[in-house]
A = this chain, B = another copy of it.
Amino acid sequence: MSRWAPDARERLETAALDLFVENGYEDTTVAQIADRADLNRATFFRHFADKREVLFGGEDKLARLFADAIRAAPADATLTECLQAAFAAANVAMTPQQRAKAAKRVLVVAANSELQERGLLKHARMTRSITAALRERGTDELTARLGAEVGMLAFTIAVERWMQAGNGEPFALHAAAALSDLQVRAAELDSRSRLSS
């Protein structure tokens, strides 16, 4: 087994997902994952704190991409423009390869409540990361929290649509559309028009 592997993290993720789909999450050990990736257990634990984390590394990366893009947005950008900048930045992480992995992940996570809880923790961290980045721009506290919730809902809806759509459709298109759909509805929370569609 090679001790030095520049693509170790990705190999471990791929091996873990394949094994989780084949044998179930519960019945897969870290040793089996490392073995399938042609690496050893120590290498696994250099990259992931536990077996659950191997499924959620992408969320940590996205949280950083979101926050960096919001911080880098022009000083006069609206909240919607900040979120659009975040999703545009996320586009680099949303490759067709990631899309195939995401489909497997959905299956694995749906079958295990412990994984659902970890997924919610990651979702909450992404929300907090967006809130903090908006707050740093001088956005008032409630608007920052609302913007982060609406942004994460737009992101979730965009991922669902991106997964359902054919290959080749860029994620950023779905993200912009989902955000726009929510923005229209957010402006109408107290209207009667959409309650009986």
A residues bordering B, Cβ < 8 Å? 76-81, 113, 116-118, 120-121, 123-124, 137-140, 142-143, 145-147, 149-150, 153, 157, 181-183, 185-192, 194-197
Contacts and interface: CB of A to CB of B under 8 A. Distances in A.
Given A79-B194, A139-B194, A143-B195, 17 more contacts: A76-B192, A78-B192, A79-B189, A79-B195, A81-B190, A120-B121, A120-B123, A137-B195, A138-B197, A139-B197, A143-B185, A143-B188, A145-B153, A146-B153, A146-B182, A146-B186, A149-B150
Contacts of A81: 190
The quantity of this chain's copies bound in the complex is 2
Q: Which of A81, A123, A124 has the most CB of B within 10 A?
A: A124
